[in-house]
């Protein structure tokens, strides 16, 4: 990993932080894409205390805003000619229906459109590598999701956990279609379930879910354990040519049937292009 450029979103805490810390230890140059500057600076200092030689840059981005996503991507593109690893790790779950500044349901916007837009904007720089890896953090929660093109944002009968499950299903569908479009480029796209990890994930949940989350913590993975599969996909020669797969515990796992539906993946891509206005500047 020496001198490889790794972009990691949501890198200031949880499994994103542990991923950044380990990849820095292995010699990679880390670009932490974070929403909160103070937390990002604190995380950077903590990583450099662990690995004093670590090269780390901070790029600020609130993934609920497409304008901020574009600005963050522009900043990265203008600074760096090649991206070797992109890890889409940021995530959100809200306790009730809310919309972003762009008018999209927040969980859908951050977890899916955030991955989709950011990745597509960085693709020309990623393709410059010739052998880059794109890694999307999904979840087994996708098994509770569904792809309904007429109700992607759950504006009717909103349920926070279902919205989250949908967004994780979309992460896998996005990965499947991206991998198909990347064939022959030397760049791969894979996704993963990190496990049920003891993080501050429950902050946006309603009180009942928070209680269940708290009760289940003794059985959850640590943040370091939760980062293991992401790190494996970023570093292992074993997956160098694997493209379009879903992993858990560093092994390929079969997701639910709808997550592997090429027609659904293609339709979601087309809808996402329109919602992010990438249909005017399609790269792949």
Residue pLDDT, tens place only, 71-123: 999 999 999 999 999 999 999 988 889 999 999 999 999 999 999 999 999 99
Q: Is 115 in the active site? A: no
Per-residue pLDDT of the chain (284 residues; tens, 9 = 90+): 999 999 999 999 999 999 999 999 999 999 999 999 999 999 999 999 999 999 999 999 999 999 999 999 999 999 999 999 999 999 998 888 999 999 999 999 999 999 999 999 999 999 999 999 999 999 999 999 999 999 999 988 899 989 999 999 999 999 999 999 999 999 999 999 998 754 555 455 555 454 444 544 555 578 899 999 999 999 999 999 999 999 999 999 999 999 999 999 999 999 999 999 997 766 66
Task: Report pTM.
Answer: 0.92
Return d(Cα 78, Cα 74) in angstroms, integer.
Answer: 6
Residue-range domain boundaries for the chain: 5-280
Catalytic residue, chosen from 115, 164, 232, 246, is 164
Domain 5-280 classified CATH 1.10.12.10?
Answer: no
Q: How far is CA 117 from the centre of its chain?
A: 11
A 10 A CB-CB count for 257 gives: 7
Question: Residues 44, 32: contact at Cβ < 8 Å?
Answer: yes
User: Which residues contact residue 185 at a Cβ distance below 8 angstroms, ignoring those fewer than 6 apart?
Assistant: 127, 130
pLDDT in tens, 50-61: 999 999 999 999
């Amino acid at each position: 990993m020496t001198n490889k450029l790794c972009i990691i979103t949501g890198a200031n805490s949880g499994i994103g932080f542990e991923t950044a810390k380990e990849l820095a230890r292995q010699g990679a140059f880390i670009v932490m894409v974070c929403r909160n500057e103070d937390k990002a600076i604190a995380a950077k200092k903590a990583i450099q205390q662990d690995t004093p030689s670590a090269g780390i840059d901070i790029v600020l981005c609130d993934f609920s805003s497409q304008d901020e996503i574009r600005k963050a991507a522009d900043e990265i593109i203008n600074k760096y000619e090649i991206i070797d690893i992109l890890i889409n790790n940021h995530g959100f779950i809200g306790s009730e229906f809310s919309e972003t500044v762009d008018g999209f349901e927040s969980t859908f916007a951050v977890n899916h459109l955030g991955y989709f837009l950011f990745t597509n904007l960085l693709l020309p720089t990623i393709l410059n590598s010739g052998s880059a890896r794109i890694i999307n953090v999904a979840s087994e929660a996708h098994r509770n999701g569904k792809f309904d093109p007429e109700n992607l944002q759950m504006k009717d009968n909103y349920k926070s956990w279902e919205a989250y499950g949908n967004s994780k299903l979309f992460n896998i569908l996005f990965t499947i279609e991206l991998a198909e479009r990347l064939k022959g480029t030397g760049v791969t796209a894979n996704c993963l379930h990190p496990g049920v990890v003891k993080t501050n994930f429950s902050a946006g949940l309603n009180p009942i879910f928070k209680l269940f989350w708290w009760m289940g913590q003794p059985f959850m993975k640590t943040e370091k354990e939760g980062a293991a599969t992401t790190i494996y996909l970023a570093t292992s020669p074993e997956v160098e040519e694997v493209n379009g797969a879903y992993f858990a515990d560093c092994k390929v796992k079969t997701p639910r049937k709808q997550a592997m539906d090429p027609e659904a993946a293609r339709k979601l891509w087309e809808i996402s292009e329109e919602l992010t206005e990438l249909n005017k500047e399609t790269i792949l």
